Structure 1
Amino acid sequence: MWIVGALLVVAAVAGFFWMRHTKSELHAMIGTETLSIPELERLRGISDELGAKGGFRKTAEVVGAAHARPEGLLTSELSKTECVWYRFQVERQYETVEYRDGKRYRTKRTEQVASHTSWEGYAVVDQEGRTLGVDPNGTKPDAVEQTVNRFEPYRGNGGSVEVFGFKLPQFVLGSGSTTIGYQYKEWVIRPGRRLYILGEVHDKIGPLVISKPENGGHYLVSTRTEQELRDDRVQRHKFLSIGVIAGTLIGIVLVVADIVT
């Protein structure tokens, strides 16, 4: 019983840190001003006049439609969708056999065998056609479109499997386990999709670009509105606070009860 109690306390601690992060994101959205591209250009101009050309930094929220980089649109790996950003992952589902106390147990598990997030930059464009560069920086945008979510049973081909034209090494498949199949998932941002972005706008490469803050801070890219994100964080914070309190109390009671008995 004490093990269950200890796990609940550990989960409560993890939930506490997640709750703090959620609150920090909410405060960042509340405390950051939404600026138009012309406003950002004006602020950059003032920075240039003060002799800080190339050193402009401004934490801001921007809103606009996703727009391709000058080189053109990307093509996603799985669905071959034209997009400005994509991410995919492949998970192997397998079954292992374990022996405990003279009994044989089968356990289903999952491991990630392949993943990729596009690194190419893109832009947001306002109603007047003005653009602001976006540095994806490996981030996972919120509430993006999922284009692939399918499971393919493993049919066996000499102990290896081919993913995107190359065979995974033998050791990836593992030993003493049976592969059930592979789960393929993919997400994309199509051109024209409305985006809300919270980050740091800079001019290090010349044109204005919004990216992850250099000195720490939040970087949010979402297809939802700011208000929808705020509502989500408020609700999440409430659920987490209840879970943290309940997990801590129940966990301590179970640990103490086990010690006493």
Structure 2
Amino acid sequence: MLWIGIVLLLAGGGCFWAAVHTQRRVHAMMAAETPPVPELLERARISTELNGGPGRFRLVCEVVGETAPAPVGILRSELAGVECVWHAHRVERRYERRERDDEGRMRTSTHTETVSERTSPHGWPLVRDGHHVGVDPGGQRPEPVEQVLDRFDPADGQGSTGAGGQRGDRTVGYRHQEWVLRPGVRMYVLGEVDDRDGPLVIRRPQDPKQPFVLSTRSEAELTAADRTSQRWWARGGAGLVLLGLGLAVAGAVS
């Protein structure tokens, strides 16, 4: 009982950490300014004049606009072939493994492993009122994002070890999933705008304490959802801590 109590206390601490992290994100969204793109361009121009060249302008802020293709052009997702400005896919292998347990009986267990996972390397612009700011996702996935493929292909029944499998594993099949961000989707981004590449780009802030938000939901929707999550995390943490304390004390005195 003592160890169960300690585990619950740790889980409660994790819930409190999640509540604090979510609350910080809400405060960051409420505190960040949302300057029009022409104002950002003017601030960057003034910074260039004052510093004798570009590369010194930085501003943590929000940018809202519609997604558009990058200079490389419209992309096509690799599995479904959907036109988009960003895409990601994952292929998972599901397999069965027969093993002998401690009592000598054969057991069959089902496992999953990722055999392929890829995200498009390019960012995309956000366009508003005829002006644009580039978005560098830095490997982060926009949320929520449209899923265009979720297909399970059964194996041919021959049974194989597959990628990384052990001898005797039987491949059940492969699950293919793909997500895309289409052009013309309204997005909210909270990050740091800079001119280090010349044109203005918003990306993950250099300060690790500052959140980086890429979302197809509005700021109001994000704030409402985060406040609800923060309350649940806090309540769950309090409940786990109280239960953990009770079990820990009971285990210590028994």
The two structures have a TM-score, normalised by structure 1, of 0.87
> Which amino acid in structure 1 is aligned with residue 35 of structure 2?
L
Q: AA paired with 2:197?
A: I
Summarize the Cα distance change of 1:157–1:135 in structure 2 as closer, same or farther, 3 Å threshold: farther
1:7 Cα shift? 3.1
Distance 1:103 1:253 in 2: 39
What's the % identity of the aligned pairs?
A: 40
Partner of residue 86, structure 2: 85
The alpha carbon displacement at 1:73 in A equals: 1.0
3-state SS in 2 of match to 1:60: strand
Tell me, yes or no, if structure 1 residue 236 matches structure 2 residue 229. yes
Q: Post-superposition shift, 1:138?
A: 0.2
Please list, as runs of the form range in 1=range in 2, the aligned pairs for 1:111-126 lying within 5 A after superposition.
Answer: 111-126=113-128
1:198 aligns to what?
A: 190
For residue 3 of structure 1, report the CA deviation from its aligned partner. Answer: 4.4
Q: Helix, strand or coil for the counterpart of 1:50?
A: helix
Q: After the TM superposition, which residues 46-195 of structure 1 pair with which residues of structure 2 at under 5 Å, given as runs?
A: 46-51=46-51, 53-96=54-97, 97=99, 99-101=101-103, 104-126=106-128, 128-156=129-157, 159=160, 169=163, 172-175=164-167, 177-195=169-187
Question: Contact 1:119–1:136 (CA<8 Å) still a contact in 2?
Answer: no
Q: Using the alignment, how far apart are the partners of 1:80 and 1:181 within structure 2?
A: 22
**Distance change (3 Å), C-alpha of 1:132 and 1:182:** same
**Deviations 1:10-51 (Å, cap 9, x if unpaired)?**
322222222222112111101101122111111112212322
Deviation at 1:147, TM superposition (A): 0.8
1:10/1:91 CA distance change after superposition, 3 Å: farther
- Is the partner of 2:101 in helix, strand or coil? strand
Please tell me the root mean square deviation across aligned C-alpha atoms, in Å.
2.1
Is the alpha carbon distance of 1:156 and 1:173 closer, same or farther for their aligned partners in structure 2, counting shifts above 3 Å? Answer: farther
For residue 158 of structure 1, report the CA deviation from its aligned partner: 6.5
Map 1:35-50 → 2, pairs under 5 A: 35-50=35-50
Residues 102, 174 of structure 1: alpha-carbon distance in 2 compared, 3 angstrom cutoff: closer
* CA distance in structure 1 between the partners assigned to 2:157 and 2:198 by the alignment: 53
CA contact (8 A) 2:15 2:236 kept: yes
Which aligned segments of 4 or more residues in structure 1 are displaced greater than 6 angstroms? none
1:149–1:183 Cα contact (<8 Å) kept: yes
Could you tell me how far apart the structure 1 residues matched to 2:190 and 2:196 are? 18
Equivalent residues of 2:90, 2:178 under 8 A apart: yes
| Residue in 2 that maps onto 1:23 | 23
Shift of 1:109: 3.0
**Count of residues in Structure 1 that have an aligned counterpart in Structure 2:** 251
Q: How far 1:80 sits from its partner (Å)?
A: 0.9
**3-state SS of 2:184 partner:** coil
Structure 1 gaps of 5+ residues are: 162-168
- TM-aligned CA distance change 1:249 to 1:153, over 3 Å: farther
Structure 2 residues not aligned, in runs of 5+: none
Letter in 2 for 1:33: E
Q: CA contact under 8 A between 2:161 and 2:169: conserved in structure 1?
A: no
- Take 1:93 and 1:14, find their aligned partners in 2: how far apart are those partners? 31
Counterparts of 2:138 and 2:248, CA distance in 1: 43
Counterparts of 1:16 and 1:98, CA distance in 2: 41
- Partner of residue 14, structure 2: 14
Structure 1 residues 181 and 10: CA distance shift in structure 2, 3 A = farther
